[in-house]
Each structure stands twice: as structure tokens, then as C-alpha cells.
């Protein structure tokens, strides 16, 4: 008598890095969910080792450099396992990752890794983020 074995095939999500165009496997967050990042670990590390001055010099616009820092801040925050909810009101539907010390306050020789240290990041809803940036709270 033959028994049938169930073969378990693990699906591997493979993505193409939007920076270097190499294929990579996204990592799992502390919550167990696959990261939504579109950039491979090599490019992320390269960005984090770059100084703020280098990043702003290499990007075509100020907003492009600022967006790269903000996207990396979100990855750092999600990887930390901290709750993705506003630390002021607990709102969970849409949460921004804010810098406690503003990016503009860092010098050009500071690395992106230092700017986006988990100790400098805070989860806030859009309303509280605006209030925080404008010194209301």
C-alpha cells in the first residue's frame, strides 16, 4: 500500500531592487509580515553609510534626498518591532514616522544611519505629526 505524501512548496517572493536591478528576497519584519521594501539590503546599507551631504549632492532634487531618508526611517521603525500606531492618540489607520530631532538640524557629515537611529524616530498620526513639527505638542 502506497501512501501519498504531501509536498510542501514554499513560495519565495523575489523582487527586483529598484536601485541596482538585482533580484532579492525581502526579509520578514518583527511582526512576521514580509517587508514591502523595493530596495535590496546592499543598497539600503550603502544609503545608511552615506552622509547627509553626500546624499543631497547625489540626488537630483532636495525632495528626492528627503524622501530617501524618510523611506529608510520607516524601514528602520518597522524592523524595530515597535507598534505602528500614533504614540499620542493610538490611531493605527495611517501613521507617519517622524524624526524627534529634525533632519535639517543634522550636519552634512552625519550618516543617514545616525539620522534614522530608532532613538530618533517616533510614530505619529498625520495630525499629531503636524502639531509636533509646528511645536504645538
Q: Cell numbers 528576497 label which residue?
A: 25
Backbone angles phi, psi at 89, to 5 degrees: -120, -10
Q: What would the pLDDT profile of 74-115 be if each residue is shown by its tens digit? A: 989 988 989 999 999 999 999 999 999 999 999 999 999 999
Q: What would the pLDDT profile of 50-67 be if each residue is shown by its tens digit? A: 999 999 999 889 999 999
User: Domain residues of the chain, as ranges?
Assistant: 15-133
Closest listed residue to residue 100, CA positions, set 68, 65, 137, 63: 137
Q: In angstroms, rounded to a whole number, what is the distance separating the alpha carbons of residues 65 and 55?
A: 6
Does 13 or 10 have the greater pLDDT score?
13
Q: In angstroms, rounded to a whole number, what is the distance separating the alpha carbons of residues 46 and 41?
A: 8
User: Within the chain, where are the H helices?
Assistant: 41-49, 52-58, 62-80, 112-115, 126-133
The three-class DSSP label of residue 87 is: coil
Contact 74, 97 (CB under 8 A): yes
- pTM of the predicted structure, to 2 decimals: 0.73
Whether the pLDDT of residue 9 is over 70: the answer is no
Amino acid at each position: 500500500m502506497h501512501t501519498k505524501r504531501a509536498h510542501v512548496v514554499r513560495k519565495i517572493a523575489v523582487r527586483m531592487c529598484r536601485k541596482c536591478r538585482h533580484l532579492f528576497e525581502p526579509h520578514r519584519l518583527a511582526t512576521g509580515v514580509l517587508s514591502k521594501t523595493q530596495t535590496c539590503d546592499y543598497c539600503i546599507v550603502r544609503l545608511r553609510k552615506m552622509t547627509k551631504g553626500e546624499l543631497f549632492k547625489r540626488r537630483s532634487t532636495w525632495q528626492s534626498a528627503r524622501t530617501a531618508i524618510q523611506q529608510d526611517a520607516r524601514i528602520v521603525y518597522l524592523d524595530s518591532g515597535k507598534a505602528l500606531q500614533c504614540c499620542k492618540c493610538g490611531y493605527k489607520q495611517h501613521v507617519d514616522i517622524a524624526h524627534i530631532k529634525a533632519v535639517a538640524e543634522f550636519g552634512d557629515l552625519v550618516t543617514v544611519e545616525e539620522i534614522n537611529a530608532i532613538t530618533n524616530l517616533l510614530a505619529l498620526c498625520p495630525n499629531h505629526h503636524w502639531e509636533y513639527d509646528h511645536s504645538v505638542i
